[in-house]
Chains A and B, each alone.
Chain A
């Protein structure tokens, strides 16, 4: 009672709670006012300079080609579809890039802690070199290697039958399309589900009897053998789509372009150096006692790493690694410098041809925001899952 009375006497500018609300309201209003002014001003200026606005241009014919569309695309398609192709290209290069830079980064991070002098020194050298050279420079370097060092298609290197290496990229034979392929893919899916179930079953067996079953080997066999069985059942089709040099270029087969490869290699090497340092820090964060305890109960070094150290280290590793994954995605926009048709590259061309700079940049921001938010949502979920569960 007394407190309330005391409170009511305090003028509102002395009350920290009320003052807090006041400041927050002021900040919010200022932000809104700035946003509104920017919007109105931009609209008025665009109007005055008679620059067209709106998203109508997405429906119009793009009229430009894109080198390696992951979905069917031609110059007769719309700007909307061109932008979709760009977004998928960004998704492709960043997801493959993230996958490999995590693997490579983990390996290098662990090797940096190796007791083998040469291995640890080499890892340090790799990390220092990759971290300290700007990623754009690295991209130019890898791209230059592709177009300078490899011969023209007519003199293409042919190290294996059906595989060609030239300045148009890596071109290789792929099995010709066959109806059984869909079923093989389904069988592989069944194999992976089976693997997962095997692992759970293995855990139960171990809990009950203490016996360790080779579940991973069994699961792997399942994943390989099931599609193979389907392939045999389908009559073992062996027809290949072999690349042939016709006119200027190879026709048929599958091509991995120099632009994609250079971007991918550059991003992977650059990012994995940072991932390696994070992994190293994460492992060193696990207290020595944990490792000694694990060894004292007779676990092998590999098991110590896999069962004791990594699960604890992951908690330290995941948040900064998430930010490296986001960095890789954002860095992929440097693609424009070496001619890979990522989202920024396609959006820039669209902006240039339509003049819709504001809409185009808004789309760029939206797409990267979407990629970043979905990555961090997933990683936050994974982080929660990995977080210390106290029993």
Chain B
């Protein structure tokens, strides 16, 4: 079954790519369609997962909505495709989706070999380990001989191999494609350890049968800058996605929120006037409506709002801003000037 799907994908890929070549730029294709097709996680709480009512929720989901708000002036013009870690890049390469916002780590090899461009990071993460409390493990250094649950086709899978190799420890992987199925085996005790990006571990723990029984170990063994990605070949589209992500961060820096954005239109600050399109220029440069940033902030919110709504301390995930705070507050969130 899997095999036929793959074969169909490849044949479809060549045909689709031929189609894309004639349709022109990705941006034109998206405009003609009237919506953006976005690849998201599908079962990662806080990043990409439908809620009880079937409405998509999450940081990555809101990032996609921001792009729709920028292009169409309407954040609802998005359709989501849930993808596994294995499917995600092929889906983007083949044109099945227009944007991938699925907590993918930007790496050198992915940037150079997959025919993709990553844009601005929307979450700075690092890989960690989660263990049941009753094992009494305090540090990743005590994990020699452990069985570890890990998603296939991820940077995680290679990092953990590197980490154990460099510390002279042995381990056994349990590798299952679906996050939900993998978490189930971990909670049932098939593995001693679950490894993934720390944010994902928090998301997985949030939906555990008994979240208090699990602890995330202090070691963070890698840098995982998670960023949306688009296909090569349409620089304008890439710029739009890039600046849509950054507009949310810039808005937080300006102190513009979805609540006060209308008052901010009257701001005397020339930088804010430019940002919100009161003074035209930015929109035209990107090939968008001058209100593009206004639409993002009004309909989706600034980065801080999106963060707190989906993964922040008051959610089930309870993540601190940490590295994801603004640069003015000791974090890494920093954007080029909007002029």
B288 at the interface (CB under 8 A from A): no
- Cβ contacts under 8 Å, B145 to chain A: 246-249, 251
The 0/1 profile, CB within 8 Å of A marked 1, for residues 217-243 of chain B is 000000000000001110000000000
Q: Chain B residues with Cβ under 8 A from A341's Cβ?
A: 175
The answer to whether B113 touches A339, judged by C-beta atoms less than 8 angstroms apart, is: no
Which of A183-191, A271-279, A296-304, A351-359 is the interface stretch?
A351-359
**CB pair B177 A167 closer than 8 Å:** no
CB-based contact B90/A357 at 8 Å: yes
Contacts of A45 in B (CB 8 A): 14, 17-18, 20-21
> Which residues of B (5-61) have their CB < 8 Å from a CB of A?
6-7, 9-11, 13-14, 17-18, 20-21
Question: A49 contacts B188, CB within 8 Å?
Answer: no
Task: Provide the residues of chain A in CB contact with B89, threshold 8 Å.
Answer: 352, 355
Q: Which one of B147, B153, B181, B189 lies within 8 Å of A348 (CB-CB)? A: B153
* Bound complex: CA A241 to CA B4 (Å): 43
Shortest Cβ distance from B107 into chain A, in angstroms? 10
- The answer to whether B175 and A67 touch across the interface, beta carbons within 8 angstroms, is yes
> CB distance B147 to A333 under 8 Å?
no
Is residue A50 contacting chain B, with contact meaning CB distance below 8 A? yes
A334 to B85: give the CA distance in the assembly, Å: 17
Q: Does A234 contact B (CB under 8 A)?
A: no
In the complex, residue of chain B having the shortest beta-carbon distance to the beta carbon of A134: B1
Could you mark each residue 136-175 of chain B with 1 if its beta carbon is under 8 Å from any beta carbon of chain A, else 0? Answer: 0000000111110000111001101110010000011111
Check B189 against A147 for contact (C-beta < 8 Å).
yes
Asked if residues B185 and A339 are in contact (CB atoms below 8 Å), the reply is yes
Of the candidate stretches A13-21, A58-66, A308-316, the one touching chain B is: A58-66
Using A136-B1, A336-B2 as known contacts, say yes or no to A355 and B178 having CB atoms under 8 A apart. Answer: no
Q: Is B176 an interface residue (CB 8 A)?
A: yes
For B178, list chain A residues within 8 Å (CB). Answer: 337
| B171 partner residues in chain A, CB cutoff 8 A | 65
Asked if B114 CB lies within 8 Å of chain A CBs, one says: yes
Q: Would B115 and A67 count as touching, CB distance under 8 A?
A: no
Whether A147 and B172, one on each chain, are in contact in the complex, defined by CB atoms closer than 8 angstroms, is: no
- B93 sits at the interface (CB 8 A): yes
Report if B260 contacts A (CB, 8 A). no
How many A-B residue pairs lie within 8 Å, measured between CB atoms?
167
B110 at interface by CB-CB < 8 Å: yes
Closest-by-CB residue of A relative to B193 is A248
Query: Which residues in window 223-264 of A have CB below 8 A to B?
Result: 246-249, 251, 258-259
Q: Residues of B contacting A148 with CB < 8 Å?
A: 188
In the complex, which of the residues A45, A338, A365 has the most CB atoms of chain B within 10 Å of its own CB atom?
A45
Chain A residue at minimal CB-CB distance from B157: A64
Beta-carbon contact of B17 and A337 below 8 Å = no
A295: CB under 8 A from chain B?
A: no
Interface flag for A126 (CB, 8 Å)? no
A76 beta carbon closer than 8 Å to chain B: yes
Question: CB of B74 within 8 A of chain A?
Answer: no
Chain B residues whose C-beta falls within 8 Å of the C-beta of A32 in the assembled complex = none
The residue in chain B whose Cβ has the minimal distance to the Cβ of A53 is B113
A111 at the interface (CB under 8 A from B): no
Contact A42 B14 (CB under 8 A): yes
Are B110 and A63 in touch, CB under 8 angstroms?
A: no
Contact, CB under 8 Å: A348 / B86: yes
User: Across the interface, do A349 and B157 meet the contact criterion of CB distance under 8 Å?
Assistant: yes
Residues from chain A with a CB closer than 8 A to the CB of B153 are 348-349, 351-353
Tell whether A205 is near chain B: CB-to-CB under 8 Å: no
Contact with B along A354-375 (1 / 0, CB 8 A): 1101100100110010000000
Q: Does A293 contact B (CB under 8 A)?
A: no
Contact among B115, B161, B176 with A339 in the assembled complex (CB-CB below 8 Å): B176
Interchain CA distance A248-B232 in the complex, whole Å: 46
1/0 per residue B181-211: CB within 8 Å of A?
A: 1101100111010000000000000000000
Quote the shortest CB–CB distance from A248 to chain B (angstroms). 5
B157 A48 Cβ-Cβ under 8 A: no
Known: A246-B145, A248-B146, A364-B3. A337 touches B177 (CB 8 A): yes
Smallest CB separation, B8 vs chain A (Å): 10
Which 5 residue pairs spanning A and B have beta carbons closest together? A352-B153, A49-B115, A75-B161, A51-B115, A45-B17
**What would 19 more interface pairs be, CB under 8 Å, given A344-B3, A348-B86?**
A38-B14, A49-B231, A64-B173, A143-B185, A147-B189, A248-B135, A248-B144, A248-B147, A249-B172, A336-B2, A337-B176, A338-B176, A339-B174, A339-B185, A348-B153, A349-B153, A352-B85, A353-B158, A355-B114
7 A–B pairs (Cβ distance < 8 Å), ordered by A: A75-B158, A258-B190, A259-B174, A334-B2, A341-B175, A355-B89, A355-B110
